[in-house]
Amino acid sequence: MIRLPHVTPEMLEAAYWLARLNNPDVPLLDAAEIAAFNTRVPEVIGIPDLFDLPETLTADEIRAVMPSPPERQYYDVSGRPFAPTVWDALQKNLALDAIPATAAPRFGLVTRRTPVRTYPTAITALEAPDDLPFDQFQETTVDVGWPVAVLHTSADGLWGLALTPHYWGWLRLDAVASGTRQAVQAYVQAEPFAVATAPWAGVAMPDGEHVTAQMGTRLPLTGQNRLQVPRRDESGQLIFAEGYIPADLAEWHHGYLPSTLRSILTQAFALLGEPYGWGGMRLARPGRDCSRLVRDVWATIGILLPRNSSQQGKVGDLAATFAPGDSPAARVEILGEHVPPGALLLMPGHVMIMLGMVAGIPYVIHDLWRCRHPDGSTEMVGAVTVSALSPEGSAARRTLLERLTHACIIR
């Protein structure tokens, strides 16, 4: 793993940062405050809670959540610009003329980790011919046991336009087991439950079709080391199977982790070195990007943050703002005086977790694609890493410190 400037080996351990805190085990939020926070998030980001959807939606309401045709050129994996026939095929597969005047949401549970796409297609769309890790049609992913509400089906019958937790997009219908609203809601609210605390947590299935859950995913417990896992029957309807997890619970935790900075930093550092994955994927391999890291870490304590960094920056309490004209030194001073460890640091398109100050330098943990150094050079990172937000300014490129817009505290 690349160690960036001003980062010493001991700084790559959660224990280093926890030892610098007065009391990392003080609760950040109690259960009632977490529930209130989660209830508030959909209103703040303008995306409804899945179970608050009305019994029917109009055709106009469904069309309103579909993306507009892009105004820029995209390229395929060979570097060729998309031909007009590509867009024609995508437009046809949207099946806009097939949307009825009113449609009832079709609820279901995800049976395997699956991509959520901008359009009903698996083809890769690149902003530049050599941008292979950044598929612009890849929005996010949903994990096993997550609820969805499908509103519309693509012309080829393979994709569904769905509301997922805090996100709209297209996903493969063969990854969804259909059930009633009541059955799906009962499953995601079931107690007792276990939460995946490892980056990737395994569930052994008797039929050999084992399941991998991502950090923060919650599944109901049916016994000390048994989980209830959603499956599809032959007609695509929801059934359940029992899966098994290690008795030592090394990858799982009964209930949520304590709502403390110890939990947050421990979980963030569990992801240290994990390869970067735009929209949760990187050329079909699972991964995380900066905002998915934040989302998954907080999910282990029961706080359900939005998916994107711009949304995450709206749901917390504002701790500090940075004006475009603020010098690097002034920004460091603001961070030291007003932004505690565990706060989120935001800039356009990126989010980081504040670790603390060492010798007058702020440090963060984040999922970083490329590092811009004060001398104007760049360094490929492509992983979860620790960075020093050094006050050394850059005449050539703005550093992470110089791009900060605000900081917020999740509470």
Residue pLDDT, tens place only, 260-306: 999 999 999 999 999 999 999 877 788 999 999 999 999 999 999 99
Residue 195 shares a structural domain with residue 339: no
Q: How far apart are CA 99 and CA 236, in angstroms?
A: 22
The answer as to whether 36 is a domain residue is: no
Q: How far apart are CA 327 and CA 312, in angstroms?
A: 25
Question: Would you say 381 and 356 are in contact if contact means Cβ atoms under 8 Å apart?
Answer: no
Residue 264 shares a structural domain with residue 249: no
pLDDT in tens, the chain (411 residues): 778 889 999 999 999 999 999 999 999 999 999 999 999 999 999 999 999 999 999 999 999 999 888 888 999 999 999 999 999 999 999 999 999 999 999 999 999 999 999 999 999 999 999 899 999 999 999 999 999 999 999 999 999 999 999 999 999 999 999 999 999 999 999 999 999 999 999 999 999 999 999 999 999 999 989 999 999 999 999 999 999 998 887 899 999 999 999 999 999 999 999 999 999 987 778 899 999 999 999 999 999 999 999 999 999 999 999 999 999 999 999 999 999 999 999 999 999 999 999 999 999 999 999 887 767 778 889 999 999 998 886 555 688 999 999 999 999
Predicted TM-score of the model (pTM): 0.96
Strand segments, DSSP code E, in 250-404 are 252-254, 281-282, 285-286, 317-321, 344-347, 350-358, 361-372, 378-388
- Return all residues near 399 (Cβ < 8 A) that are at least 6 apart: 328, 372, 373, 374, 389, 390, 392, 393
The answer as to whether 39 is a domain residue is: no
Two structure tokens written together for 186? 């009962």
Number of domain units in the chain: 2
Q: What is the pLDDT of residues 316-339, one digit of tens each?
A: 999 999 999 999 999 999 999 999
Residue 291 shares a structural domain with residue 250: no
Residue 248 shares a structural domain with residue 274: no
Write down which residue in 254, 269, 294 finishes a domain. 254
Residue 239 shares a structural domain with residue 276: no
Residue 95, number of CB atoms within 10 A of its CB: 17
Write down which residue in 222, 237, 254 finishes a domain. 254
Domain that holds residue 133: 45-254
